[in-house]
């Protein structure tokens, strides 16, 4: 077989260094003269493989080019791709190509359809060791010229800056003059300044339309739709502000009030009602992808999530300034607080970060951590900033000025935040809320009782421990002794019996870089060495224990899940010799372990001494007490019985005592650190390190410095909620407008270049500035919009065009259900509190029977109530600032045939029959009442004729439930004008 003469003739290190020098300083390396054979080798063994196996994805013709890597020219294959240099001549170890071919790393295996033959891989190695001779000398065209990293960065920055300059949403919010409204036909039409902006927007639409048509006239006056009647206005306003229909009483009150202030009185009443927070809180819960189960493969119920929901509802009811609301959800745990209630609120708010969808079962915990971080970044981006930052996880954002580095700057913040507790099926972080002063005493007393019992347990355990711990010959070094060096955080414990001395040490499962070193000075000679630990199923099965003896270091791997063979305490490490100068040093490490590691004591004993111990008791290896006589055994049994009694008391006390309030939350991670870019989003493919930070393109305020000791969440929260941030306030103002029928930007979660442009920048900015001036008050913004003339226009199919009218909207799923329950009188208006049936372990098969408002129905990711599922309830896995509005026959089938609607119709009929029980009630009266209850208006003459012929003379329960069901299905019930 062909072998080049110079193979291995140069020491390896020199070879590698030369290779690097070549690749750095001599990018265009001439073919070595003596490499004719080498070139032959390339043509014979290398080129055919590259062509057959690699060119499809890694050549000039590849579309798309994978991993930024080309292997079809000499320079390209050496420069490499996103992951680094692919071929380093003379240096097999640094050549990523070989790593990929050898299939040694999980994330870097090429070709993807299977490992090449070993012989082929050997050829490639040989070729590289030959200096990778390669004749493919294609000159680089100017576009292919590889830029230096600095140039590349400069180019990217320039690009980002120009994108920022273009994108409207990144421009500062600017105040503008209120339009004069000269085009408005009726000068009395505008009631508020907002109306003048709305009219200007309509004028833009009108002229835009004319620009497209051939006979556009430059000046045309604007005229608007007629006003809605008062019943319609009441129904619209009540649904918009509370998500409920007006009651017949409210209807009468409003109709009877013909004063100028009737409408503002109505708005104030609705704003003050707890149902306002329920409706508007639900809007936010859509955005916050709120759910009460994890979703994913093995979906877990999250019994604490309701507290976050209640926090959101209360925040809207209390009109918490929205900037504060933003800060609390991102960094509530880090904000200062004046009292326990505020602390509790702020902790609860951080549930926002914890309640995203996640597959806690994912076994690759590193990946799981990053997936959760990704979800947090994506949600924050879309919910608060209207930016799709998640796109930058794998590459620079293709449309918006968000480079990958920004993504990983944010990722560093969230990787320094603890959201997960890992185990086979991981879990979210929970925190206890402060106890109210009233309950404090109760809790304290309970804690004292528990402590007392725990003390008893400890005492009994210690007694038993002493009785079962023999006096050992030889030398014992216990972990609390002086000859022990403890590195890292170990926790003393007595929970599991079988340890030596007073306690043992426990690494709590992490971090995995700790150790304990025991040193014993023993006389020269041969000894048996033992280590003790308490076994358990959560222990690590491969704990490295290193013994330093005359022969040097010996590593023994100990399985701490198994009970130690000697007395249930001691694990033999082997026989070792020590000299006078060489003391016995034993090191227990946590490196490379996955579960809990225990360190207790070391025992060094000669064979003779050991024999004497073993001779003491024939039952030494048994589970029974190893030492002592019968008397000890009896005493031990007695103690064991006592222990059981006390332990069961303790369990009862714990279960029965006052429960602490638990919320889903986050905390600062123990290790605060900047992260690396993950090349192409691959978690194990690390690129450059990026300091924690925010979006670089969005440098409207002086970015605050993130201290090295904190995650940076607090700084991020302040940056997002800064009034100078052009995104946050605009995004929320736009959301509020949409909920009130005024569409400015129709992609509420995306203000980037792939989203819609605003119908009117001036309108949005003007409202945004007023909103900030008003202290980020949602209620004031609602007042401002509802006070407009626009809000009182008659309904039509439009999207915010005042010429046509106010947009007619379909009742969403919750309104539909709540309105039916309101008609039947079943609706339970209890505000807040837990809502999942006690002892619910799984969402599967959950019975959604509660008559409470829909906002209090449990939201499970893998089990949605049928009505909500049929009527476009948002996917609780995704940020949904805009709900789908679909028209499906499954919805019609639901209204026609579902047990829920059939039952509601009957209940409504029964209620109506009860209230009209008198003998002289006519069918007409019953029909009229049914219309009033469902549609908030009497039937028209035609409707009445139709309905009366349907219910007949008797108008009995059966026919009336038929009427109710039809009314529930009718256009005027399902739509709000």
Partner 1 sequence: MSIELQNSLSMDGLPTIGSPTATDASRRSLLGKIACGFGSVALAGLCSSEKTSAQAGDSLVVNQLAQQTSLLPQRAKRVIFLFMQGGPSHVDSYDRKLLLEKNDGKVLDFKVARTRTVTPMPLMASPWKFSRHGECGREVSELFPHMAKRADDYCVIKSMHTEGVAHGPATLFMHTGATNLVRPSMGSWVTYGLGSENDNLPGFITICPSAANGGPRNYANGFLPTAYQGTALGAAERSISEARFQNITNSKLSSAEQRERFEFLRRLNQQQMTQRNSERERQRDDELEATIGSFELAWRMQAHAPGVVDMSRESAATQSMYGIGNKATDEYGRQCLMARQFAEAGVRYIQVNYADNGANPRWDQHSKLMKHEQHARAIDQPVAALLADLKQRGLLEDTLVWWGGEFGRTPYAQNRDGRDHNPGGFSVWLAGGGIKPGIEYGSTDDYGFQAVQNKVHMHDLHATILHQLGLDHEQLTYQHAGRDFRLTDVHGRIIKDILA
Site for partner 1 in 382-411 (CB under 8 A): 382, 388, 390-391, 394, 398-400
Q: Which of residues 828-857 bind partner 1 (CB under 8 A)?
A: 844-845
Q: How far is the CB of 188 from partner 1 (least distance, A)?
A: 20
Q: Which of residues 94-133 bind partner 1 (CB under 8 A)?
A: 106, 112-115
* Cα-only R_g, the chain: 37
Closest to partner 1 by CB, 418 vs 861, is 861
Closest to partner 1 by CB, 148 vs 797, is 797
Closest to partner 1 by CB, 676 vs 883, is 883
Q: How far is the CB of 167 from partner 1 (least distance, A)?
A: 12
Question: Residues of 178-212 as b/e, b for ≥16 C-beta within 10 angstroms?
Answer: ebebebbeeeebbebbbbbbbbbbbbebbbeeeee
Q: Which of residues 425-484 bind partner 1 (CB under 8 A)?
A: none
Q: How far apart are CA 159 and CA 167, in angstroms?
A: 12
The Cα-based distances of 195 to 44, 189, 267, 792 in angstroms read 79, 8, 18, 11
Taking residues 46 to 75 in sequence order and writing x for each that binds partner 1 by CB under 8 A, - otherwise, the string is ------------------x-----------
Q: Is 941 exposed, middle or buried (0-12, 13-18, 19+ CB in 10 A)?
A: exposed
Q: Which of residues 341-380 bind partner 1 (CB under 8 A)?
A: 357-359, 361-364, 367-368, 371, 378
Task: Classify residue 31 by its DSSP letter.
Answer: P
**Residue 7's closest CA among 124, 127, 115?**
127
Q: Which of residues 751-780 bind partner 1 (CB under 8 A)?
A: 752, 754-755
Q: How far apart are CA 573 and CA 549, in angstroms?
A: 12
Q: Is 612 exposed, middle or buried (0-12, 13-18, 19+ CB in 10 A)?
A: exposed
Choose which of 436, 553, 884, 954 interacts with partner 1 (CB under 8 A).
884
Q: How far is the CB of 68 from partner 1 (least distance, A)?
A: 13
Sign of the CA dihedral running 335, 339, 342, 344: positive
Q: Which of residues 195-234 bind partner 1 (CB under 8 A)?
A: 225-226
Q: How far apart are CA 786 and CA 771, in angstroms?
A: 14
Taking residues 253 to 292 in sequence order and writing x for each that binds partner 1 by CB under 8 A, - otherwise, the string is ----------------------------------------
Closest to partner 1 by CB, 184 vs 646, is 184
Q: How far is the CB of 750 from partner 1 (least distance, A)?
A: 5
Closest to partner 1 by CB, 338 vs 942, is 942
User: Taking CB under 8 A as the rule, does residue 749 contact partner 1?
Assistant: yes
Q: How far is the CB of 826 from partner 1 (least distance, A)?
A: 19
Q: Are strands 543-549 and 584-589 parallel, antiparallel or unpaired?
A: antiparallel
Q: Which of residues 495-534 bind partner 1 (CB under 8 A)?
A: none
Q: How far apart are CA 50 and CA 492, in angstroms?
A: 59
Task: Classify residue 46 by its DSSP letter.
Answer: I
Q: How far is the CB of 103 from partner 1 (least distance, A)?
A: 9
Closest to partner 1 by CB, 360 vs 499, is 360
Q: Which of residues 890-949 bind partner 1 (CB under 8 A)?
A: 890-894, 896-898, 902, 940, 942-943, 946-947
Sign of the CA dihedral running 233, 235, 238, 239: negative
Closest to partner 1 by CB, 170 vs 766, is 170
**Residue 464's closest CA among 702, 323, 307, 633?**
633
Q: Are strands 504-506 and 598-599 parallel, antiparallel or unpaired?
A: antiparallel
User: Taking CB under 8 A as the rule, does residue 321 contact partner 1?
Assistant: no
Closest to partner 1 by CB, 369 vs 475, is 369
Number of residues that bind partner 1 (CB under 8 A): 94
Scanning 37-45, 264-272, 500-508, 859-867 for contacts with partner 1 by CB under 8 A, the matching segment is 859-867
Q: Which of residues 779-818 bind partner 1 (CB under 8 A)?
A: 794-797, 804-805, 808, 810
Q: Which of residues 577-596 bind partner 1 (CB under 8 A)?
A: 594
User: Taking CB under 8 A as the rule, does residue 970 contact partner 1?
Assistant: yes
Is 222 strand, coil or helix? Answer: strand
What is the longest distance spanned by two Cα atoms in the chain? 117
Centre a 10 Å sphere on the Cβ of residue 119 and count the other Cβ atoms it contains: 8
Q: How far is the CB of 221 from partner 1 (least distance, A)?
A: 16
Q: How far apart are CA 365 and CA 371, in angstroms?
A: 10
């Amino acid at each position: 077989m062909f072998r080049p003469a110079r193979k291995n003739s140069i020491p390896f290190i020199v070879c590698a260094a030369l290779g690097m020098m070549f690749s750095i300083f001599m990018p265009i390396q001439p073919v070595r003269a003596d490499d004719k054979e080498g070139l032959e080798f390339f043509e014979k063994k290398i080129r055919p493989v590259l062509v057959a196996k690699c060119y499809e994805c890694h050549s000039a013709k590849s579309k798309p080019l994978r991993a930024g890597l080309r292997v079809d020219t000499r320079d390209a294959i050496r420069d490499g791709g996103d992951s680094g240099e692919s071929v380093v001549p003379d240096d097999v170890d640094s050549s990523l190509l070989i790593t990929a071919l050898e299939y040694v790393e999980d994330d870097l295996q090429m070709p993807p359809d299977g490992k090449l033959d070993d012989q082929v891989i050997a050829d490639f190695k040989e070729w590289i060791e030959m200096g990778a001779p390669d004749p493919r000398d294609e000159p680089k065209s100017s576009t292919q010229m590889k830029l230096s990293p600095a140039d590349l960065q400069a180019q990217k920055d320039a690009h980002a800056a120009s994108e920022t300059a273009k994108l409207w949403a990144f421009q500062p919010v600017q105040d503008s003059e209120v339009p004069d409204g000269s085009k408005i036909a009726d000068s009395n039409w505008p009631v508020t300044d907002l109306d003048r902006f709305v009219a200007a927007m309509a004028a833009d639409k009108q002229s835009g339309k004319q620009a497209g048509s051939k006979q556009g006239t430059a000046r045309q006056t604007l005229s608007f739709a007629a006003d809605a009647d008062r019943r319609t206005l009441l129904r619209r306003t009540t649904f918009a502000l509370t998500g409920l229909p007006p009651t017949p009483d409210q209807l009468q009150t409003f109709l009877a009030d013909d004063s100028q202030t009737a409408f503002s009185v109505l708005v104030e009443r609705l704003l003050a009602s707890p149902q306002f927070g329920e409706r508007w809180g639900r809007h936010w819960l859509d955005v916050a992808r709120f759910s009460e189960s994890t979703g994913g493969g093995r979906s877990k119920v999250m019994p604490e999530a309701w507290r976050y929901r209640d926090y959101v509802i209360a925040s809207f009811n209390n009109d918490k300034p929205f900037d504060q609301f933003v800060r609390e959800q991102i960094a509530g745990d880090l904000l200062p607080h004046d009292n326990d209630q505020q602390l509790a609120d702020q902790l609860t708010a951080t549930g926002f970060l914890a309640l995203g969808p996640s597959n806690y079962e994912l076994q690759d915990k590193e990946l799981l951590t990053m997936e959760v971080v990704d979800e947090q970044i994506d949600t924050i981006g879309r919910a608060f900033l209207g930016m799709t930052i998640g796109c930058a996880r794998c590459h620079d954002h293709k449309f918006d000025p968000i480079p990958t580095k920004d993504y990983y700057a944010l990722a560093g913040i969230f990787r320094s935040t603890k959201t997960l507790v890992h185990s086979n099926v991981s879990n979210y972080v929970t925190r206890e809320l402060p106890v109210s002063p009233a309950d404090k005493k109760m809790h304290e007393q309970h804690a004292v009782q528990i402590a007392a019992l725990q003390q008893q347990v400890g005492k009994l355990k210690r007694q038993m421990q002493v009785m079962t711990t023999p006096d050992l010959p030889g030398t014992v070094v216990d972990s609390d002794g002086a000859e022990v060096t403890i590195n890292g955080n170990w926790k003393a414990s007595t929970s599991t019996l079988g340890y030596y001395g007073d306690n043992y040490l426990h690494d709590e499962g992490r971090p995995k870089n700790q150790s304990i070193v025991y040193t014993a000075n023993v006389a020269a000679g041969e000894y048996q060495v033992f280590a003790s630990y308490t076994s358990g199923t959560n222990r690590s099965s491969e704990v490295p224990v290193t013994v330093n003896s005359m022969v040097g270091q010996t590593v023994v791997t100990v399985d701490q899940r198994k009970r130690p063979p000697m007395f249930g305490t001691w694990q033999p490490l082997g026989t070792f010799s020590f000299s006078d100068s060489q003391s016995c040093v034993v090191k227990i490490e946590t490196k490379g372990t996955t579960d809990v590691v225990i360190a207790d004591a070391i025992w060094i004993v000669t064979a003779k001494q050991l024999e004497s111990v073993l001779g003491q008791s024939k039952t030494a290896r048994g589970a029974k007490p190893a030492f002592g006589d019968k008397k000890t055994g009896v005493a031990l049994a007695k103690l064991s019985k006592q222990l059981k009694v006390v332990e069961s008391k303790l369990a009862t006390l714990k279960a029965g005592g006052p429960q602490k309030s638990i919320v889903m939350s986050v905390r600062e991670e123990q290790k605060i650190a900047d992260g690396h870019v993950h090349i192409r989003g691959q978690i194990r493919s690390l690129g450059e390190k990026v300091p924690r930070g925010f979006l670089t393109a969005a440098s409207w305020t002086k970015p605050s410095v993130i201290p090295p000791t904190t995650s940076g969440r607090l700084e991020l929260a302040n940056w997002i909620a800064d009034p100078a941030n052009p995104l946050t306030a605009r995004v929320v103002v736009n959301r509020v407008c949409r909920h009130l029928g005024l569409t400015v930007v129709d992609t509420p979660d995306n203000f980037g270049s792939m989203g819609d442009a605003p119908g009117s920048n001036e309108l949005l900015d003007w409202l945004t500035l007023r909103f900030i001036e008003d202290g980020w008050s949602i209620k004031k913004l609602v007042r401002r919009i509802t006070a407009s003339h626009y809000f009182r226009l008659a309904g039509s199919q439009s999207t915010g065009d005042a010429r046509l009218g106010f947009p007619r909207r379909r009742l969403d799923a919750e309104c539909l259900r709540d309105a039916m329950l309101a008609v039947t009188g079943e609706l339970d208006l209890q505000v807040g509190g837990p809502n999942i049936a006690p002892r619910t372990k799984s969402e599967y098969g959950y019975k959604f029977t509660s008559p409470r408002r829909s906002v209090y129905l449990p939201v499970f990711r893998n089990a949605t109530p049928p009505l909500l599922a049929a009527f476009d309830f948002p996917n609780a896995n995704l940020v949904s600032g805009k709900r789908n509005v679909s028209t499906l026959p499954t919805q019609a089938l639901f209204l026609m045939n579902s047990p829920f609607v059939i039952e509601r119709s009957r209940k409504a009929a029964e209620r109506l029959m009860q209230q009209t029980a008198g003998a002289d009630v006519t069918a007409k009266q019953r029909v009229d009442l049914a219309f009033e209850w469902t549609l908030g208006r009497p039937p028209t003459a035609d409707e009445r004729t139709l309905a009366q012929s349907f219910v007949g003379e008797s108008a009995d329960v059966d026919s009336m439930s038929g009427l109710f069901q039809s009314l529930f299905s009718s256009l005027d019930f399902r739509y709000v004008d």
